Amino acid sequence: MAITVTENAANHIRNAIVAKRGGVGLRLGIKKVGCSGLAYTFDVADDVGADDQLFEAYDAKVVVDREALSVLDGSTLDYVREGFKQVFKVENPNAKAQCGCGVSFSV
């Protein structure tokens, strides 16, 4: 199982960890929400638990728990500019449908 992290995403993760002055990396997860059922979550990971998988690229770390990894396996995490905002974007080959507003997805 794997998550690919782009250089843009890694740069943003490293900068966020420095700004927070702590944490081991980005925690990428999923939660039940929205019209399609699931949404991505992004937070600073304070540690790596026993049920977590750690991915590293460009000196940045991404932590994913086992349950989320089953949905996120094979995904690419990027950090992109969309209009006036900059956001993490997940390209997930397991997502079969996405709601019209782009907030939630289903597998």
| Secondary structure of 80-93 in HEC code, one letter for each residue | EEECCEEEEEEECC
Which range of residues forms the domain containing residue 54?
4-106
The predicted structure's pLDDT at residue 43: 93
Q: Which residue has the higher pLDDT, 20 or 97?
A: 20
pLDDT digits 0-9 by tens, 73-102: 999 999 998 888 888 999 999 887 666 555
pLDDT digits 0-9 by tens, 41-62: 999 999 999 999 999 999 999 9
Nearest-angstrom CA–CA distance, 25 and 65: 13
Domains identified in the chain, total number = 1
Q: DSSP 3-state helix, strand, coil percentages of the chain (rounded to 5)?
A: 20, 45, 35
List C-alpha distances in Å: 68 to 8, 29, 38, 58, 82. Answer: 22, 6, 10, 22, 25
Supply the CATH number for residue 90's domain. Answer: 2.60.300.12
